[in-house]
A and B are shown apart, each in its own frame.
Chain A
Amino acid sequence: MADAPLVRPLANTTPASIEDAPLYVSRKPIYPQAVKGRFRTIKWVLLAHTLGIYYFLPFIRWDRGPNALDQAILVDLANGRFYFFFIEIWPQEVYYLTGLLVLASLALFLMNAVAGRIWCGYLCPQTVWTDLFYAVERLIEGDRRQRMKNASGKLTFDVVARKLLKHSVWLLIAWWTGGAWVLYFADAPTLVMELATLQAPAIAYIWIAILTFTTYTLAGFMREQVCTYMCPWPRIQAALTDEYALNVTYRYDRGEPRGSAKKNNALKAKGLPAGDCIDCAQCVAVCPTGVDIRKGLQLDCVLCGLCIDACDTVMTKIGRPTGLIAYDTEMNVQARIEGRPEVRRIVRPRTLLYAVLIVLVSAIMLTALALRQRIDLSVMHDRNPIFVRLSDGSIRNAFTIRVANKRLEERRYALSVEGLAQVSLDAVGGTIDQQGRPVLAVRPDQTLEARILVTAQGNRLPSTTELRFTLTDLASGETAHANDHFKAP
């Protein structure tokens, strides 16, 4: 019984003999049919939201005061800053990005453990844009039947005109995709004006051209081939999935043996085995990757669930219960065949582990973000000379320090040092306050490099003394520390 669904002969590639086996095959054209249903609705909603976010996010404003741009999300490459609403990341804080990537992969693992490749079916940009391009294609050229007819029939004026219109709309979407991309890297309203008046930097046009090309090619032509040939995630997926993960499953325990509604009804009446699948092939017709889900879980399937919608529609029409294809597991199919109870276990060690890790990593990141230092001090000892003897016999060490002011207003900091008894500090060209501390003023959101001279009195200095530099924000009292050494003969 399970034999039939597993056999998956590829009609156009099956060779008669080894010698006839083709080395290369052309893409088998796919004309997905329009479908309505629960999962299609979810896909439309997600498509509208993800694309809406992508296209309009750069225009959201976020007031940061006079010293920074007011774009909510901005990758400021020229100045090395990343803005995300109330968060501002400096290049040396790239570990936040690492944390985000860790979270992203854990989220993928969790999605996968719960319901297989739902990322592929609902959220992957390749799927979303391909979905949009198919929608445009259907709107202009007609549904599956019409498109297949156009492809095999004569090129009439109407067909050519519709194809031209389709490609124009595709290019328009692709161009808008590239256009939105560059807006994340500069002040969006300004850049839109510059682009419109051809005043924008060349690199903006180059990126728009690149993304227009990739969007048009990948969503218009490559489509499901990106998933089957180019993307590594389907392969990784195979290693990550387990028997509990809900996959789009044809319930062959209920569907087989398939046959026309009339024939199977007759068989059932006689008490002979007959399945619910009427072999209408609607599941194949709507599939965006062109697979027959009745052959079982396969690499090409992106788990979008459109075949579920198609099958449910048919089942409702002919008055049979829905759910012949559903998010289910092979384990449950076997369980039903053998009369055992079904097992649905979303909460299990694997999913718990992923969930705990996600919470843990998020907590670590949030804590790090909340306790984040708004000043930063790094100290580098001069290498040559390591120390200098002054005319009065005292010893001086020179350091290059870098002070980072991550606040969006100018701050003044006092530098002090501990570790030596009789010591004086100088900043090249700086001021000294009443306690003998150099005072450094750092502009908003910038760093300042200064040369610091530490001079120690006394003849009997040890060859190495631990030094601890302390930087104090004169306004807030916030401090930053850095350790180094004082070298003497």
Chain B
Amino acid sequence: MSQETHEQIDAVTGVSTTGHSWDEIQELNNPLPRWWLWSFYATIVWAIAYCIAYPAWPLVSSYTKGVLDWHSREAIVQDLDALKAQRAGTTAKLAHASLEEIRQDPELFAFARAQGKAAFGDNCAGCHGAGGAGAKGYPNLNDDDWLWGGSLTDVEKTIRFGARSTSDKGHQGTMPAFGRDGMLKRQELAHTADYVRSLSGLPAEKGADLAAGAKVFAENCAACHGDKGQGNKELGAPNLSDKIWLFGSDKATIMESLWNGRGGVMPAWSERLDDTTVKALTLYVNSLGGRPEALRTRNGHSAVGNERPAGNCRPLALTQIKEGPQSSS
């Protein structure tokens, strides 16, 4: 800490000291340049002018508005409008192109995917999860099992009109409550559950009567789920012979499905979202990878062993991010 000494005129420089002394080293009190003083006054004047011109002081339930009538909300709206105007060309293209056309155009496809991802987060993630991973009863959109079909047009139709929704054009088809409605007895349902598990190779319980189950299945279930439980996309009847289970593969869950029936609802999004957004959503969901065979059929045949000739090597529908000085500036 400094010791207080008397202020004095420093002999060497002729400048007065501050009166502070650190180990007998004294601090000079050099005068400030006058322009510094004027700069300081200028900042004060600026601050006052700013308070008058712009919103500045908080009041109890309001704030001083400022004479320039500037609003941060308007500034945001302007920024958003500018962004929309900048994107207008691509947005218009997206609105007019068909799904397949968009997928052929890497930049448009990237734009659609980005827009679709945002729309997915806002509208779909609540049930299907942020990355489309799904949950019990809500299909995982990343896998290759599609209740209502996984082609672009199928997915678009499902998004637009929903399943068991308020729309007439939505997918229909319900799993009856075989037990609750008294159509089948509990024992018959138990045999059926054992048989359904065996369709995808799951081990049967001890004493399971698969033959009895098969008989019940053929009489009651095959109409929708198919002879071998391969499912029916027209009716949204799940494929029972694959490894993917919407509600669960354990016997109790299957019994529950058989007893009470199932019928998950997907809303008809055309009632809430515009056509372009639905299109973008379709392409985004498609790009999650649920249909690898679709990924490779750009030219109408499998791309395996059919690498495109060099020279014409524009990337296929990949997200081409513009980062380089491609366009002259």
Contacts and interface: CB of A to CB of B under 8 A. Distances in A.
Interface of A: 6-10, 13-15, 17-18, 21-27, 67-69, 76, 78-81, 186-187, 225, 229, 382-385, 388-393, 396, 398, 402, 410, 412, 426-434, 436, 439-451, 453, 455
A93 to B, nearest CB: 13
Contacts of A402: 321
B16 to A, nearest CB: 4
A429 B325 contact: no
Contacts of B304: 432, 436
B287 A428 contact: yes
Given A24-B37, A440-B318, A18 B16 contact: yes
Contacts of A186: 329
Contact of A451 (B15, B287, B324): B287
Contact of B315 (A13, A14, A398, A441): A441
B230 to A, nearest CB: 10
B contact patch SS: loop
Interface in B28-87: 29, 31-37
Given A391-B143, A391-B242, A450 B31 contact: no
Contact of A412 (B34, B131, B310, B323): B310
B325 A81 contact: yes
A448 B308 CA distance: 18
Contacts of A442: 315
Given A14-B9, A26-B33, 15 more contacts: A8-B12, A9-B14, A15-B14, A24-B37, A187-B328, A382-B131, A384-B131, A385-B133, A396-B143, A398-B142, A426-B292, A427-B318, A445-B326, A446-B323, A455-B292
A406 to B, nearest CB: 9
Contact of B316 (A68, A76, A398, A431): A431
A409 to B, nearest CB: 11
Contacts of B295: 426-430
B318 A448 contact: yes
Closest 9 CB pairs of A and B: A429-B317, A384-B131, A385-B133, A391-B242, A445-B324, A14-B14, A446-B324, A21-B16, A393-B243
A308 to B, nearest CB: 25
Contacts of B14: 8-10, 13-15
A187 B16 CA distance: 56
B314 interface: yes
B1 to A, nearest CB: 23
A299 to B, nearest CB: 10
Contact of A229 (B12, B33, B133): B33
Contacts of B11: 7
Contacts of B320: 443, 446, 448
B40 to A, nearest CB: 10
21 contacts: A8-B12, A8-B13, A14-B15, A18-B8, A26-B34, A225-B33, A388-B140, A391-B144, A391-B243, A396-B143, A402-B321, A430-B295, A430-B317, A432-B304, A445-B325, A446-B324, A447-B321, A448-B320, A449-B319, A451-B287, A455-B292
B265 interface: no
Given A14-B14, A451-B287, A428 B143 contact: no
A225 to B, nearest CB: 6
A384 B289 CA distance: 13
B179 interface: no
A447 to B, nearest CB: 5
A396 B7 CA distance: 80
Contact of A434 (B239, B305, B313): B305
Given A23-B31, A385-B142, A389-B143, A450 B319 contact: yes
B298 interface: yes
A101 B314 CA distance: 40
B315 A430 contact: yes
A385 B143 CA distance: 10
Contacts of B308: 431
Interface string B203-239: 0000000000000000000000000000000000001
Contacts of A429: 103, 106, 109, 287, 295, 298, 316-318
A168 to B, nearest CB: 23
B289 A428 contact: yes
A385 B33 contact: no
Given A385-B131, A429-B287, A23 B143 contact: no
Contact of A428 (B31, B132, B317): B317
Contacts of A229: 33, 36
A256 B314 CA distance: 82
Contacts of B317: 428-430
A398 B313 CA distance: 24
B149 interface: no
Interface residues of B, number: 65
B226 to A, nearest CB: 14
Contacts of B32: 23-25
A447 B323 contact: yes
A393 to B, nearest CB: 4
B289 A446 contact: no
Contacts of B306: 431
Given A432-B307, A451-B287, A24 B244 contact: no
Given A10-B15, A21-B31, A385 B140 contact: yes
Contact of A398 (B15, B103, B289): B289
A24 B325 contact: no
A382 B289 CA distance: 12
B315 A448 contact: yes
A27 B305 CA distance: 81
A16 B218 CA distance: 117
A426 B110 CA distance: 17
Interface string B282-302: 000001110010011010000
Contacts of A427: 295, 318
A419 to B, nearest CB: 20
A384 B130 contact: yes
Contact of B35 (A8, A27, A78): A27
Contacts of A26: 33-34
B319 A81 contact: no
A357 B98 CA distance: 62
Given A69-B325, A79-B323, A18 B143 contact: no
Contact of A396 (B35, B289, B315): B289
Given A13-B31, A23-B32, A453-B292, A6 B315 contact: no
Nearest to B145: A391
A423 to B, nearest CB: 13
B321 A446 contact: yes
Contact of B144 (A22, A390, A440): A390
Given A22-B31, A388-B143, A428-B317, A443 B324 contact: yes
A68 B325 contact: yes
A391 B249 CA distance: 13
A430 B34 CA distance: 69
Given A6-B12, A398-B289, A431-B308, A389 B244 contact: yes
Contacts of B130: 384
